């Protein structure tokens, strides 16, 4: 079932979903199952599975170092198929511009179609570690808008190098990212909203936001998006703070603000166990307010761990 259909079927009741990352190459999938199992009691309509782009590693040979490209967490589509089979739940693979050519993207989408995966999340992706800014892959898309257009064209039988008469009514439901505090590379929030509208106009069906910790930022973002003519569902993406270093890391990496009350509470913690509890309590209150405001779904960034997400969901669903 499509994300938009899940939301429509819920008839105003807020749903629960979460995002996971594939295991590192060579690791067993069982650890992932162990972290997903406790969350299935809350009946998520879908699970998001991230995609990792390539990165460089240096391999020593005869005293010299060769630079090689690798993917540390491959297997996104395989993970989606495994979860769909094991839990009878919809799965949503992330499809990236960065690290993938248009042809590779087309092949991935064909695999998704064969597996009955009806939803995809179209993202530009981040810059590689050695890059200051995002640089498009040779033969790939520069922006997520182009990626959305490719997916929508494929749904209409328009492949990269040929047009094929559609044999069925298969049609991807496309999600895209939104940024309540603007994308870190955008010069202003209004500029960023215009880019978001371009993605929606290109065929995106729903929006999932980047993490935020101040609900007023989300509410203002939704209001501005609606005023800009963006009328698709907007799903808040939420992450509980888990370790003290998040105070520096999250603002630095994602260019987001942390509320002063949260900063003070985390700063007063003696250890990360206390920080984790503060993060859970803050996230529960944040989620309750969002739920009361009528959001269609609460989407949690689990980073592969479930104990704090389970504690939060137990209070809400």
Pairing outcome for strands 55-61 and 46-49: unpaired
Active site residues: 19
DSSP code for 293? T
3-state per-residue secondary structure call for 209-233: ECCCCCHHHHHHHHHHHHHCCCCCC
DSSP code for 137? P
Cβ pair 32, 79 in contact under 8 A: yes
Dist. CA 97–CA 108, nearest whole Å: 12
Q: From residue 193, how far is each of 74, 202, 232, 295 by CA, in Å?
A: 32, 14, 13, 19
Crossing angle between the packed helical segments 144-155 and 102-114, to the nearest 10 degrees? 50
């Amino acid at each position: 079932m499509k994300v938009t259909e899940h939301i429509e079927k819920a008839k105003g009741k807020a749903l629960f979903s979460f995002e996971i990352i594939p295991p590192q190459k060579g690791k067993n999938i069982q650890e992932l199952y162990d972290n997903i199992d406790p969350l299935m009691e809350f009946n998520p309509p879908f699970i998001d599975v991230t995609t990792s782009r390539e990165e460089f590693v240096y391999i020593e040979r005869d005293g010299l170092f060769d630079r090689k490209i690798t993917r540390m967490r491959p297997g996104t589509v395989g993970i989606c198929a495994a979860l769909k089979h094991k839990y009878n739940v919809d799965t949503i693979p992330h499809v990236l511009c960065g690290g993938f050519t248009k042809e590779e993207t087309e092949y991935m989408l064909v695999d998704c179609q064969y597996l009955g995966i009806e939803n995809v999340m179209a993202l530009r992706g981040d810059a590689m570690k050695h890059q200051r800014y995002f640089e498009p892959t040779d033969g790939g898309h520069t922006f997520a808008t182009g990626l959305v257009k490719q997916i929508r064209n494929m749904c209409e039988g328009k492949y990269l190098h040929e047009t094929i008469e559609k044999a069925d009514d298969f049609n991807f439901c496309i999600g895209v990212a939104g940024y309540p505090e603007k994308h870190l590379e955008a010069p202003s929030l209004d500029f960023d909203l215009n880019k978001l509208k371009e993605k929606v106009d290109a065929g995106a069906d729903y929006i999932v936001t980047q993490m935020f910790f101040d609900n007023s930022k989300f509410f203002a973002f939704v209001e501005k998006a609606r005023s800009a003519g963006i009328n698709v569902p907007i799903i808040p993406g939420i992450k509980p703070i888990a370790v003290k270093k998040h105070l520096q890391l999250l603002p630095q990496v994602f260019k987001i603000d942390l509320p002063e009350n949260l900063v003070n509470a985390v700063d007063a913690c003696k250890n990360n166990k206390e920080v984790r509890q503060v993060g859970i309590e803050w996230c529960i209150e944040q989620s309750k307010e969002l739920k009361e405001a009528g959001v269609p779904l609460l989407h949690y960034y689990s980073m592969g761990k479930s104990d704090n997400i389970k504690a939060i969901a137990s209070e809400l669903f």
